[in-house]
Amino acid sequence: MLVKYSPWRNGEDQWGVKIEEGKFADTTISINNIALGKDETSLEVDFNFLTITPETDPEKTHKQDFDAVLQPIIEDIIRTAVKLMEDHETRDPNTQ
C-alpha cells in the first residue's frame, strides 16, 4: 500500500524521500542507488536513514514493516521516472 511521501533533492547527487503518514511518518531516507538485482527479477535499494520515527526500529525490529512501506514508494518513483523519460522522448523538439 502506497503511503504519502515527499521526494527531496539536494543538488544533483543527493536525493531521497520523507514518509508523511503511517507508522513511519517523519522517517527520512537518502537514496544512494537503485539497481536491478543479480537475479534480474528484483531491485536492490541502497539507502541511509537520515531521521527515524520515534519508537520504531526500521533497521531491525520493524524491518519487514518498513520494507513493505518502502517497496511501493520505490515502485512509484520508478514508474514516475519511466513516464517522464517516455514523455521527454515523445516530445516534439520543434515545440520546446
Q: How confident is the model over 21-63, as pLDDT tens digits? A: 999 999 999 999 999 888 888 889 999 999 999 999 999 999 9
Domain ranges of the chain: 5-91
Q: Is 5 exposed, middle or buried (0-12, 13-18, 19+ CB in 10 A)?
A: buried
Cα(28)–Cα(17) distance, integer angstroms: 6
Number of helices and strands (H, E) in the chain?
A: 1, 4
pTM of the model: 0.85
